[in-house]
Structure 1
Amino acid sequence: MAFHTIQSALLGLLSTFAISTSALAAGSHAGGHADEATGYGKPGIAAKVDRSIQVDMSDNMRFTPADIAVKRGETVRFVIRNVGRLPHEFSLGTKQELEAHYEQMKKFPGMVHDEPNKISLAPGKQGEIIWQFTNSGAVDFACLHVGHYEAGMKGLVKVAR
């Protein structure tokens, strides 16, 4: 009787583990990043936006504009438009963060993002990211869909003092 109880408990535990790992394998990347500050900024507040910047993503694997200048402390609403026929993504981060995330995207190409510094858009769609740049320096952005990053779909936000 005790063996059967242990066996049932073990099967239940394994089932739970299998469900949670299959959710990760499916590519969901949500999980508590919404209020986290980074070395380059933090999620902005819509009511405190200083200005909006439109960024187009196209199938020639480029962002327009690819070079953006902002001031430290500024809160920017990035209005991101996918003007191509392929899905594209706009991800803010350090070069190291973007490259590490790109490796994850290679493993899970259908990954869905639920983070304030990333947005994936289907062809013809538009979305926005509101970000406050709290430190001066450079912040990279890129499309991390497989093949896009290597094709040069990258840009830079220069944050002045």
Structure 2
Amino acid sequence: MWIVHFGQDWRPPLKCQPPGRRTKYKQETTMRTTNMMKLLMAATALAGVLAMPAAWAAGAHGGGHGGHDMGAMSADMKKKHDAMEAKMNDTSAFGVKGDPKKATRTIRVEATEIMYNLKSIDVKVGETIKFVLVNKGEQAHELTVGDAAYQDNARQMMTMMAEMGMDPASPDHAAMHAGAGNTAIAAPGQSKEFAWMFTKPGKFEFSCNMIGHSEAGMKGAIT
């Protein structure tokens, strides 16, 4: 005698069914199992997608540049990063952030692929100059003034940022230079400016330190 549980999908035991029915029943069972697996996989994928915004938000507020969690860096890398950033803020060898209202002249520097329209700039000690970077190229460019050691450190920092998956053209990169005030970063079609006062004599440089740009000749001399 078969015991029937009402409300369930009841079928006679498989061994009691005709051979043709057994095959069909196995096919239906396999199909149900496959569909359940698909639903489970879809639910898992959906849960992952829904969790992504929260992860991004956590990364964006994790104390890193461009949403990158600086806490994920190794101790040695963080030490190197902090040392580079300290050098980025030290401009004592060539000048200080200037007041645009006190600029005695404006120098327009146009950026294309991959070059500036100027190769050299003459300045005087104590002079405040407003630099205007006009990006006529097809990718982001920057204009940084400094001595050779400063420019080399800036390029190393740019390489580290790229290795960490950070966008060198992001607002966070611009914010990193804001304290020193000697850099302008412009997206294609944009114009950015800053004022700089040269406090010491010497041979300095202006350069685009986006990876590979300075090496390709996107730089000039400041004398």
Structure 1, residues 45-84: CA drift from partner, whole Å, max 9, x if none? 122111111111111x211212001111110001110111
Whether the 8 Å CA contact 1:89–1:121 is kept in 2: the answer is yes
Whether the 8 Å CA contact 1:72–1:135 is kept in 2: the answer is yes
User: Which ranges in structure 2 are unaligned for 5 or more consecutive residues?
Assistant: 1-57, 74-83
Whether the 8 Å CA contact 1:30–1:113 is kept in 2: the answer is no
Q: Distance in 2 between matches of 1:47 and 1:100?
A: 30
Report the TM-score, using the length of structure 2 for normalisation. Answer: 0.55
Q: Report the residue type matching 1:151 in the other structure.
A: A
Which one has a larger percent strand, Structure 1 or Structure 2?
A: 1
Superposed displacement of residue 120, structure 1: 1.1
SS of match in other structure, 1:129: strand
1:102 aligned to 147, 150, 155, which one? 155
1:19 aligned to 51, 62, 66, which one? 62
Which one has a larger percent helix, Structure 1 or Structure 2?
A: 2
Structure 1, residues 5-31: CA drift from partner, whole Å, max 9, x if none? xxxxxxxxxx9xx93353448xxx999
Whether the 8 Å CA contact 1:73–1:135 is kept in 2: the answer is yes
Identity across aligned pairs (percent)?
29
Report how many aligned residue pairs link the two structures: 137
Which structure's relative contact order is higher, taking Cα pairs within 8 Å and 6+ residues apart?
1
Match for residue 46 of structure 1? 100
Larger Rg: 2
Q: How does 1:14-93 map to 2 (within 5 A)?
A: 19-21=62-64, 22-24=68-70, 38-59=92-113, 61-93=114-146
SS of match in other structure, 1:70: coil
Report the TM-score, using the length of structure 1 for normalisation. Answer: 0.75
Moved more, 111-120 or 40-49: 111-120
| RMSD, aligned CA | 2.7
Match for residue 53 of structure 2? none
Distance 1:98 1:56, change over 3 A: same
SS of match in other structure, 1:52: strand
User: Which ranges in structure 1 are unaligned for 5 or more consecutive residues?
Assistant: 1-14
